Amino acid sequence: MLRRAVFLDRDGTIAEDVNYCRRPQDFRMFPRAGEAIASLNKAGLAVVLVTNQSGVARGHLTEKTLAQIHQKMMDELAEYGAGVDAIYYCPHLPGDGCSCRKPGTELFHRAAAELGLALTRSYVVGDQEIDILAGHAARCQTVLVETGPAPCTSDAARPDHRAPTLYEAAQWILGRERSSTRQLSLALLDSDSACPQ
């Protein structure tokens, strides 16, 4: 049974976008991000971080430091009883022509294969147009949050939903999940009653 997932962008979505976070002490999670992720965990959704980290290719930080930053994030999440199932990042430059940098979808497909995820029943949450474009290309539902340094006001990206912060994004996702579960059980009841005894 494939799991549903919520793919989260990191900078501007979970934590402040501080223009290349280079040290663990510069990583600052948004208020209620931990609570939001805990609610997704509790609903049985896989939570997967997908983040562009070109600061690595630019020499601003090493992959070892990036791992320390992510360890700090996981430690802070654990205080809320929250966690991420996996972290995927692209370390390349925008001009490198890789297929893992969002809006490329390689990391989403890698996660789906490694974690057993159903992309068409999953969600992407991010603060930039590239997150939404990647979500569309991966055939996920998309939520644009307004916590980035330059909130995306363009309609070109056409997210399925807009939310002020990750917290409201998670609420919306959980609402969708509840209504699809309800529809599924109604459909099952229907098919039961249609069955000749």
Residues at the interface with Mg ion (CB under 5 A): 9, 11-12, 127
Give me the amino acid identity at 51.
T
Active-site option among 11, 85, 127, 190: 11
CB of 148 to Zn ion, least distance (A): 20
CB of 98 to Zn ion, least distance (A): 3
E strand residue ranges, 67-183: 86-90, 123-126, 141-145, 161-163
Number of residues that bind Zn ion (CB under 5 A): 5
Element at 5 (helix H, strand E): strand 5-8
**Over the Cα atoms of the chain, what is R_g?**
18
CB of 100 to Zn ion, least distance (A): 3
Asked about 190 being catalytic, the answer comes back as no
Q: Which of residues 86-115 bind Zn ion (CB under 5 A)?
A: 90, 92, 98, 100-101
Closest of 171, 140, 182 to residue 40, by C-alpha:
171
90 binds, among Mg ion, Zn ion, none (CB under 5 to 8 A by kind): Zn ion
Q: Are strands 5-8 and 46-52 parallel, antiparallel or unpaired?
A: parallel
Hey, how many other C-beta atoms are within 10 angstroms of the C-beta on 23?
13
Asked about 127 being catalytic, the answer comes back as no
Residues within the interface to Zn ion (CB under 5 A): 90, 92, 98, 100-101
Which residues form the catalytic set? 9, 11
